[in-house]
A and B are shown apart, each in its own frame.
Chain A
Amino acid sequence: MTSSLSPIHLAIALDGTGWHPGSWRQPHSRAAEVFSGAYWTDLAREAEHGLVDFVTIEDSFTVQGASPLDPTPVPGGGRLRGRLDASLLASFVATRTEHIGLVPTITTTHTEPFHVSKNLATLDHVSNGRGGWRVQVSGRPGEAEHFGRRRIPGFFDPEASSEEKSARVNELFDEAADVVEVVRQLWDSWEDGAEIRDSATGRFIDRDKLHYIDFEGDFFSVRGPSITPRPPQGQPVVTALGHATIPYELAARGADVLFVTPHDDDSAARILGEVRDAEARVRADETPLLVFADLEVVLDTPEASGAQRLTALDEAAGQEFASDALIVTGSVTELAALIGRWQALGYGGFRLRPAEHAVDLPLITGSLVPLLQEAGAFRTAYDQTTLRDRLGLPLAANRHATAS
């Protein structure tokens, strides 16, 4: 690879024992420990050891589907099944790590925006400014039945017309945009310095620095203010994964970071163009989206090539791995070359999904990262900063703050 790279951002996407459904059956998977704090602590520390920007933690209100492309649960007991709540896990892991950003997934479809806002604000307090959020929309009828409050028809329904489907998708994403907006407004509903502890007047807070948000939208209304003071980052980092125009627009409206899934150099360029178009249409924020490419990684080891490992994993899962993202099999050198090419196209970062946590995560931290460092493309130490700072996002000014 060339040595002219400018620094990139790296994230690791954590999910179960890894993204390949056959990963839990591999020798060092620690499959019996996936519901323990120790397991997740070790993963986050390994990622921190590799100086990566942040980890994301997958989550959903249902059991795992057959693959990232197919949410239908697999009957029988042959698949890794079950999850810990990602946001609570992130707050737990925050106490056992020092630098790494922690970005849990929380859906906007079945949750209360008020709860989501204070939950993430608290993660940010607990982690001293390392918190983020991967916004997710849930269009699965099964998840709706777990809540019994609304019907979600027509999203995955093969009978539904394409108009019905896209109306449904639009509605879920419009709602998500409102949720993001409310969560952000609640984060700003306390100005910094609202706590004054003024003994002379007996006032603990200056209530003029607290604000009702009085949000009223098509889906819900929220009065505010939050019960939780403004998080250390002001605005924790909001991320979203998108595969098409509607989610690109959601991200452009409300997110800081967008994960996309190009499959080759051409689509990498085209997708970035679509994202920038979406931004031109709907983004109010002056800072452009920081766009990460998602990659499934199955890396070469001394014992087996990535391709051989993928075959073995497919056999263990009893099916060929299918993913929304490009599946990269090969050496870390090849992966670094791909990263270099796409960075040149304008990608700011890469979210790597290890096929097997036990194998691919240490290869990323132990081999890929040094390679990128040698090329001057990756940090060699953490600064004492918040996640926003690390990602180069500007200081989040409070919308209510009066210029002093």
Chain B
Amino acid sequence: MPKQVILGAHFPGVNNTTVWSDPRSGSHIEFESFRRFAQAAERGRFDFLFLAEGLALREQRGHIHDLDVVGRPDTLPVLAALAGVTEHLGLVGTINATFNEPYELARQFATLDLLSQGRAGWNVVTSSDAFTGANFRRGGYLPREQRYARAQSQVTANRHLWDSWGQDAVVADREAGRFTDGPAGEFAYASEFFDIHGTFNTPRPPQGHPVIFQAGDSEDGREFAARTADAIFTGHGSGDDGRAFYRDIKRRLACYGRRPEDLKILPAATFIVGGTDDEAHRISDEVRRQQVSGQTALLILERIWNRDLRDYDPDGPLPDIEPETQPGTLIQGRVQHVKDPAAEVARLRELARDKNLSLREVAIEISARQNFVGSPETIADALIDAVETGVSDGYILVPHITPGGLDDFVDQVVPILTERGALRSEYAEGSTLRDHLALGAARPATDWEAGSAAGQADLSGHESASHDLPSHDLTEQKESA
């Protein structure tokens, strides 16, 4: 019996993965698309559906980016609505830790967990910059170094709020006139970021605490995940890179008194299912061309050059100028992934020379090939193999078509995974998201704080051990400092 492959379904987001020009591509806004997508995932007995979030529309060259899908409905109301049309599927929402307050967030997630009977998850992200802050009361709040400290405190505050009602606090004994028994909401929490106390007004969520996800790759981000999260959404999804990330994260857990199975590692994965492997690869090439138009190619390269490249011909050669290495405001509202632009440009020039590629062809070439391409058997084998060989604990699938992009996977790959025993054949009765992911019962906030304190005491030893991290993590930290 192979290990279980955890499966998440990422509602396609606002980047060039989505091929919106495809005739099958539907609305990214209408609820009907979300319903259809979620019900496909539930038909495939996925663990959860996943929604991303961006709190400001992306800009490039000082204009709202218009080449990809733009705009999305608000994460939490969509998940609350999906709770109304699904029964088993976990509902995970990305919500920023910087531009929200614990009391409001804790009751929103408690509400989602109550409405869905234990299916809520929170992907805690920290993106914070003056650009995003301009939409909020705080403005450009919090230097980068402090974002995870606030996120840590944010989650801890939420846990205290969820703990403030006993699991059985609501007795609703009409005869005796007792609605609540025992603790029902009293809380106090103070940190560098919050000083709050009073009475919380939403009962304890069925899961105790919703499942906590983390997405973010820096040293601080990884440490935050090891200390606080139940799952990580990551870009490290294949081969040795994935295995290195997996080992690095799982190794960190011991410092906080946690076991490797307490934190699930779930990379994003794109996929193309074909009748045969050859067919899948043909489709894959075509989809990648669709994903990278000439205009998109220029924008992709601008993210590496960090310069305005609009005057270059996508069908001509690569730009002959050198990249800008100082951080600028050319690109806003998007996570910067290029760590050493000069080296990357040199690599691309070599690639273009060797294969005789135009600017657009280079952009297509570097736009990642889909993680899983092949016949249903090939994909099922690859997924099982990845989980068996310590690349990940499962994947969060990102289709390129909305809302039907999951259907081929559900209809063709899922039956094979099920037959091989790597995926449930039905949801267990009354199973929560925590149960789907084989996570233990929620530990109280005070317990997490104690575990963190132990981890902190250990941290000196741990930090020297972490010097063997891939060097780009350290570089990225320096760059942003």
| Chain A residues packing against B (C-beta within 8 Å) | 24-27, 29, 31-32, 35-37, 41, 60-64, 73, 77-85, 87-89, 91-96, 110-115, 118-119, 121-123, 125-126, 128, 142-143, 145-149, 190, 195, 197, 199, 201-207, 210, 219-225, 227-229, 316
Contact = CB atoms under 8 A, between A and B. Distances in A.
Contacts of A64: 201
B293 interface: yes
B83 A37 contact: yes
A129 to B, nearest CB: 12
Given A123-B77, A227-B72, 9 more contacts: A61-B104, A78-B177, A88-B76, A112-B137, A125-B29, A126-B77, A128-B31, A142-B199, A202-B293
B73 A122 contact: yes
A326 B29 CA distance: 43
Interface stretch (B52-60, B270-278, B381-389): B52-60
> Number of contact residues on B: which range applies?
35 or more
Given A26-B174, A89-B80, A91-B78, A125 B31 contact: yes
Nearest to B58: A227
Contacts of A37: 83-84, 114-116
Nearest to B201: A63
B201 A220 contact: no
B59 to A, nearest CB: 10
A382 B374 CA distance: 51
A83 B202 contact: yes
Contacts of B177: 25, 78, 316
A59 to B, nearest CB: 9
B318 to A, nearest CB: 20
Nearest to B178: A77
B180 interface: yes
Interface stretch (B105-113, B121-129, B449-457): B105-113
Contacts of B185: 63, 81-82
Interface string B79-93: 011011100000000
A147 B200 CA distance: 11
Contacts of B21: 197, 199
25 contacts: A31-B172, A31-B174, A36-B114, A60-B201, A62-B201, A63-B199, A91-B77, A95-B35, A96-B84, A112-B100, A115-B100, A119-B76, A119-B77, A122-B77, A125-B31, A126-B31, A126-B77, A142-B199, A147-B101, A195-B70, A201-B295, A220-B137, A221-B134, A222-B136, A227-B72
B29 A24 contact: no
A27 B174 CA distance: 8
Contacts of B178: 77-78
Contact of A88 (B29, B72, B115, B171): B115
A92 B57 contact: no
A114 B138 CA distance: 12
Given A125-B30, A204-B20, A84 B73 contact: no
Given A77-B180, A125-B31, A24 B199 contact: no
B194 interface: yes
A126 B81 contact: yes
A84 B136 contact: no
A204 B78 contact: no
B103 to A, nearest CB: 4
Contacts of A63: 185, 199, 201
Given A202-B296, A205-B70, A88 B77 contact: yes
B71 interface: yes
Closest 10 CB pairs of A and B: A95-B84, A32-B172, A91-B77, A223-B134, A88-B80, A77-B180, A85-B111, A122-B74, A122-B77, A122-B73
B334 to A, nearest CB: 13
B132 to A, nearest CB: 10
A228 B179 contact: no
Contact of B111 (A73, A84, A190, A221): A84
B29 to A, nearest CB: 5
A80 to B, nearest CB: 5
Nearest to A189: B57
B195 A77 contact: no
A89 B66 contact: no
Specify which of B84, B115, B135 lies most central, judged by the most chain A CB atoms within 10 Å of its CB.
B135
A87 B76 CA distance: 10
